[in-house]
Structure 1
């Protein structure tokens, strides 16, 4: 079983990232009236990143130890990397989609009206 102090140390080490993500969520919510479609995508991506950062350190050790039963170090490292990289890739994909959404790019005329 995983040592609980290691899990809490991992969560404590994530405090700066969590604070930045919470600040970004507050900023995105304050600007949701400007472009609601984009801000919703940003908030979903931030929510995924927060969920991964706060819940995965608690869930992944239980999953690797009890459910999958991965005993070899290489297999554990591979599963751990996959569990973290898939939701992070989805969140970053949402953010990049929002940033580079050419179909919804506003013209200079629309930007001066806003």
Structure 2
């Protein structure tokens, strides 16, 4: 687990997936914390999907959007998939306004992200 005043990131082992729970705000100041956890998650020897749970994130700035695109590409290049959990609010709005919902796999719940047709 990594914690700053504005961002908390926790790994959670889940059958068939690598799951990162993120809480707080993702901006230029906190993005390096998330970057390190995403690096660690991709470094794990696995072909499981990488699930990034942003349902408890209240703010997603352009630095966070850039990380999503970067790690979507990096995951794909290593044969993995990045799935983003966003159930509405500021995070989903930021993803939709930037048209990244056309690029990223965005799911409203963990169950939807893990569904066989995902």
Query: When the two structures are superposed, what TM-score results if normalisation uses the length of structure 2?
Result: 0.29
- Structure with the bigger RCO (C-alpha within 8 Å, sep 6+) is 1
**Structure with the larger helix share:** 1
**Structure with the larger strand share:** 2
Structure number, greater radius of gyration: 1
Query: When the two structures are superposed, what TM-score results if normalisation uses the length of structure 1?
Result: 0.29
